[in-house]
Structure 1
């Protein structure tokens, strides 16, 4: 039985995972009205960890296993903030139990896993959204409006880059933990290009990069060619800082999404800059502009109130196309994860 979310009731969130991103998501939720959003439970791999997290964020219930959160009848939607390599089994656990899910990016490790999650969501008639939080920022909505009005003419080239020195983090550099530049931060570059070109499937994908000794990509460049001789150039790296900005170059002007491109608070069009400030956080954050996670939470509530099973801002078709492009880029540079050959038969 699926819980009905009504306008006069708060959306009740369950938090799966007690790591850095889950912390920031909870801080962001607290910037929204308590009448609209409430965090009612958190689950971690140990009860002590869950209790500590719950105390920090004022969450009434703490579980020492994800399975206990699955059984909680008072959860409207689950936010999954666990390690990328666990998104498939954990996501399936909640979807098959009839829970609505907002799952951190990447939705899963490859196209086959993503489709497994999408199928589970559809079979169980529940909401599923990949938490590409960028898509929900006001700047992105403004970009979409400007493009629909042809404010810079015909878009010819999109240039996006994002790089951070992250080699000291095991989850970024080790294959077993889903490391690599593309899957961790390059995903933001690709999703931006695909959004600008209206979710069109590229005519060609050309990727080149350098690998770490662990077998994951340290730096990567992906060139996408679209119909009408239009192109996108996406550059990412976990070895060094890159500008983390984006330019949409049209026949009559340029739209610039300044640093940080993936969670922007300003937009420049033909020399005119517009600001979209974020609220101050109630607790220290782990990542830049993380109070902006509030926008995807608002989008989830909007969808649930309307009875939707996916978002138009980051649809399941968007997630499928994004992972297809990522899979092909990985194939070309030689990054292979265990999940690429692992059988799905043992996963419920």
Structure 2
């Protein structure tokens, strides 16, 4: 098992969650934390036990000891920071949304190939045991065709026109921040839609604070997806098949509920420690062990397809990012 020196680019809330679980892995060295503010980087490095702190992203990527970088800045900056790392031959695990639009994602993918350097979107739920168990249930249970998917992700966010939830310059809005989870779920289970309808609700800054999306598919299946910063409504997934249903909470360790032929079953799984961010890091290091530049489980083509659907939803809903579109 080879050890890898990890660097964190951007020392915010999601970076703290990732670092907390990264430090549990025996072959992951917490090497460097980088922020545009040295004080922030130093505080972050001290809290989680990183060896070095940088007050410059550019200085960090010049460090020859860095093997792989986890990018945790706002998605409005993912293109810039991914290119910085890839062009300096640093493997990249970049938070979702991968970028603001498909044009940016394609530039990131091109840079990965040009530099022969690993790149993956940090869609951590794809690697969690619960998601894998659901995939197995869909494959192994005789439930017939999947006819409808319902998926929600909501939380109450305090309105602040300057933060990433509401500031258009930072790619604000529920769709790219949390709505991406329901859209990803629909892509994984139903593929690419043939028709999209969307109803947004906009905040005073012009960002959408809530959106409902209706997707139709060539095989007759449908999906209803919701995301909002203004609701505490459930955060679960329901899959409706011809002969039964599968229902689960996206993040909890609660059992998956399976209904088939008038019988209910609770399907348990080995959730593992913590929330599950460590599973994507484990996979990245396995890919690097095998000299891969993209994941066979979450290939770059999936990230391209996902962003194209998000682009189409934004176009349908009239969601515009002035500095990117």
TM over 0.5: same fold? Answer: yes
Deviations 1:3-32 (A, max 9, x none): xxxx3x212211111111111111011222
| 1:133 equivalenced with 2:124 (yes/no) | yes
| 1:300 equivalenced with 2:294 (yes/no) | no
Partner of 2:61: 70
CA distance in 1, matches of 2:87, 2:302: 22
Write out aligned runs for 1:95-174 (5 A). Answer: 95-169=86-160, 170-174=163-167
2:35/2:56 contact within 8 Å kept: yes
Partner of 2:256: 267
Q: Which runs of 4+ in 1 moved over 6 A?
A: none
Deviations 1:79-132 (A, max 9, x none): 001122111111100011111100000110011111111111111111111111
Residue of 315, 320, 323 corresponding to 1:336:
320
Q: 1:263 to 1:22 in 2, by over 3 A?
A: farther
Give 5+ residue unaligned stretches, structure 2.
none
CA distance in 1, matches of 2:118, 2:76: 21
| 1:44 equivalenced with 2:28 (yes/no) | no
Instruction: Compute the TM-score of the two structures, normalised by the length of structure 1.
Output: 0.88
Aligned length: 318
Q: 1:263 to 1:203 in 2, by over 3 A?
A: farther
1:84/1:177 contact within 8 Å kept: yes
CA distance in 1, matches of 2:10, 2:133: 32
1:167/1:173 contact within 8 Å kept: no
Residue of 217, 228, 232 corresponding to 2:219:
228
Instruction: Compute the TM-score of the two structures, normalised by the length of structure 2.
Output: 0.94
CA RMSD of aligned residues (A): 1.5
Partner of 1:14: 7
Deviations 1:205-247 (A, max 9, x none): 1111111121111111111111210111111111111200001
Give 5+ residue unaligned stretches, structure 1.
1-6, 281-288, 342-348
Partner of 2:194: 203
Partner of 2:311: 327
